[in-house]
Amino acid sequence: MGRAPCCDKANVKKGPWSPEEDDKLKSYIQEHGTGGNWITLPQKIGLKRCGKSCRLRWLNYLRPNIKHGGFTEEEDNIICSLYVTIGSRWSVIAGQLPGRTDNDIKNYWNTKLKKKLFGKHRKEQQLQARNKLLASANHESNGRRSENSSSNLISDQHILQPYCWPQNIHPSLTYTNQGSSFNDQDSIRKFLIKLGGRFSNEDDDYYPLHDGGVLSRQQVHEEQQANYISGCINSINNNQILQYFSQTQTNQYCVEGVAGQELVQGQGSFTETTTSSSNNNYYPQKLSGLEFIYGEEMDGTICGQSSNWGETDQSSSSMIYPSLVASNFQEEKPQECVFQELSTYPS
């Protein structure tokens, strides 16, 4: 059985709101509140609008103390930092910026901030990578002939400089493994707490579960990494990986956000995965909006999983991504293989 529509779509007006409609909605809500039911609200005030549309209009535009445009540098920094940490959770990010709406921040990120931060940088990187590839190709054609050109291409690419996240996004957010870097979960948590303390109690070393239980930070850390890796390599189950964790040092190259996001990073460069919060699995998936870091032509292969992000031409991509190939795993020492790759990339 399909879900009933929230409104009669034939009888609702779409498109831009008129000043009259704005006035009706604003004055009603200011006088009576929403009444806890957006669906019936438009009928009450005689608006031929969908309840969802009214809600959106109110939240994004009519609500008092809404700021539009004119983002400050400090706000830019906060948005960037949070995006790196928690991904595209615009409502959470908006919660840290009073007067800003998630829609506004989302638009701002997609249209301006992304380009501001990476546009020029990326072009330079791509040009550099392309030149090196050309030089490498010339060298090959003049000298030795490769038996397997594709594998050599990949290894050559690994020599190239990968995309680097700008170091000046936020003073407390760096990608080195030294000093006050953002290289562990505590740092991220402290940073988020500093921004507003919405995420957790500073003294809290335990993560609440839906069933009322708790997980220690270490347990969460291990489970997330295990889920992540098992998501990469389907043939290895979580328990095997957790077992590995219990026997070895935690991999220091996995940096987790509070909500299961991970930045798998190396020295001054990183690759990114995000997780599906909806089903509590920590499987990598597309992190929308960061293709510019990887390169537009990236084929969506994350740790050996292809996720059909779009058409690609791998040979033209200047993105260096640490590929954890499943077949490697299925051989003799699977766990060592993945951790070796993670911990040594990029060399």
Partner DNA sequence: AAGAACACCAACCGCAGAAGA
Partner DNA sequence: GTCTTCTGCGGTTGGTGTTCT
Q: Which is nearer to DNA, 111 or 237 (CB)?
A: 111
Q: Which is nearer to DNA, 10 or 203 (CB)?
A: 10
Minimum CB–partner distance for residue 300 and DNA (Å): 13
Minimum CB–partner distance for residue 37 and DNA (Å): 4
What three-state secondary structure class fits 202? coil
Minimum CB–partner distance for residue 84 and DNA (Å): 14
Beta strands in the chain (DSSP E): 206-208, 214-216, 254-256, 262-265, 270-276, 281-285, 301-302, 305-306
Q: Which is nearer to DNA, 162 or 231 (CB)?
A: 231
Residues in contact with 278: Cβ distance below 8 Å, sequence separation at least 6, in sequence order:
none
Q: Which is nearer to DNA, 247 or 279 (CB)?
A: 279
* Nearest in space to 220 (alpha carbons), one of 193, 174, 189: 189
Q: How are beta strands 301-302 and 254-256 bridged, if at all?
A: unpaired
Q: What CA–CA distances, in Å, run from 23 to 18, 47, 206?
A: 9, 11, 47
Q: Which is nearer to DNA, 235 or 288 (CB)?
A: 288
* Nearest in space to 324 (alpha carbons), one of 343, 339, 304: 304
Q: Which is nearer to DNA, 3 or 145 (CB)?
A: 3
CB-count burial class (<10 Å; 0-12, 13-18, 19+) for 226:
buried
Q: At what angle do helices 217-232 and 238-247 cross, to 10 degrees?
A: 130
Minimum CB–partner distance for residue 275 and DNA (Å): 12
Minimum CB–partner distance for residue 308 and DNA (Å): 12
Q: Which is nearer to DNA, 52 or 158 (CB)?
A: 52
Question: Which token pair is 16?
Answer: 């831009």
Minimum CB–partner distance for residue 50 and DNA (Å): 7
- In the 3-class helix/strand/coil scheme, how is 300-317 assigned residue by residue? CEECCEECCCCCCCHHHC
Question: Which token pair is 205?
Answer: 């070393």
Helices within 99-184 (DSSP H only) = 102-108, 114-142, 149-159
Minimum CB–partner distance for residue 147 and DNA (Å): 40
Q: Which is nearer to DNA, 162 or 284 (CB)?
A: 284
Where do contacts with DNA occur on this chain (CB under 7 A)?
Answer: 1, 3-4, 6, 9, 13-17, 34, 36-40, 50-53, 55-57, 60-61, 68-69, 88-92, 102-104, 106-108, 110-112, 115, 278-279, 288-289
Q: Which is nearer to DNA, 111 or 167 (CB)?
A: 111
In degrees and rounded to multiples of 5, residue 271 shows phi and psi of -120, 165
Q: What CA–CA distances, in Å, run from 92 to 84, 110, 204?
A: 13, 17, 20
Minimum CB–partner distance for residue 163 and DNA (Å): 20
Minimum CB–partner distance for residue 25 and DNA (Å): 11
* Nearest in space to 266 (alpha carbons), one of 190, 158, 191, 188: 158
